[in-house]
Amino acid sequence: MNINEIKQLLSTSMAPYEKARQQFLAAQSGPMSDIVAYLERQRGKELRPLLTLMSAHACGLPEGTKESNPVFRVAVLMELLHNATLMHDDVIDESALRRGEPTVNAQWGNQVAVLAGDYFLSQVMQGLHEIDNPLITDMVNHAVTAMSLGELIQLQQCGDYTIGETDYLCTIEHKTARLMQACCGAGAVLGTSRKDYRDAAMQFGMAYGMAFQMHDDWADMQPSSVTGKPQGNDLKEHKVTLPIILTLKRLEGDTKSAFLTLLQKEMLTDSDVQQAIQTIEASGAVEATQGKIAEQVQQALCQLARLPQSPYREGLTSMAESLT
């Protein structure tokens, strides 16, 4: 299933989710009104709310659940949290574009972007306080802490081509997978009282998040015509991703030295990027990365097998398999 098919499967839940989203955005005014309008224009796949709602239904939340159920507000808060972190990330990465539009920092400056991200984070915490579910609050707090640490670790690792696969896995677990784990866990908490189902959903979220970030790193090596994103951005930003780590592990002697010299250039041209990608592809690291993704997807599917059979479990299965 693609994202549109997932939303169709969730048709009875998307309307109350949308209503909860609009209620939240309508309550923001004054200096936040321009940012709210920006968020409306910048709506992406909304993967994190989908994970929250799909996990809730896969664990037992019935179709047609009343819109007063907190699951819809939680789904909104998860997307809001994600958007807040993107605002901060764009400042850190000095990004000028996101989804084809100028970033918040590009339009209004770094100060506004940081403060807007902080404001939305505070709104997430306030929303969780109002929902008053300690399990969910704990999950989200742990995720936010992990994400902050993950970004700090990635900053420290930037341009450090001595780091290994273990370091990389630790980084992506913190900066990406922990939030997806919290989304699935929060949905499960609101869908069932069974701890075994909750544990399965959370472990699915972790494995899915790991595979998702690995796939994102793999996609950076692919042509823009395939992904719709600029090719080689991670290389230009000196991010040490899995394809690079696996390439360095395979190269020796002068070939390895030349590759490192290329990676360590202060500014890589488009020609440099193409040369680096050719070396990565020739080493077999692209296929090896796909193999690592497949391993994480298989772990995710094993966790889903612990949940009862349903269209929602099949939807989560399709989401995971789409990464391979």
Nearest residue to 28 via CA among 84, 66, 69: 84
Range of the domain at 85: 3-321
Q: Where residue 31 falls among pLDDT bands split at 50, 70, 90?
A: confident
The string of DSSP letters for 143-180 reads HHHHHHHHHHHHHHHTT-TT--HHHHHHHHIIIIIHHH
Burial class (CB in 10 A: 0-12, 13-18, 19+), 68: exposed
Is pLDDT at 124 greater than 80 in this prediction?
A: yes
Looking at residue 228, the DSSP 8-state letter turns out to be S
Q: Where are the beta strands (DSSP E) in the chain?
A: 97-98, 101-102
Whether residue 99 has pLDDT greater than 80: no
Within 187-284, strands assigned E span none
Query: Does residue 69 register a pLDDT over 80?
Result: yes
Question: What's the token pair of residue 83?
Answer: 């958007």
Q: What is the pLDDT of residue 8?
A: 92
CATH number for the domain that contains residue 233: 1.10.600.10
Whether residue 237 contacts residue 266, with contact meaning beta carbons closer than 8 Å, is answered with no
Q: What is the mean pLDDT of residues 259-270?
A: 96
Q: Give residue for tokens 């784990």.
A: 181
Overall domain count for the chain: 1
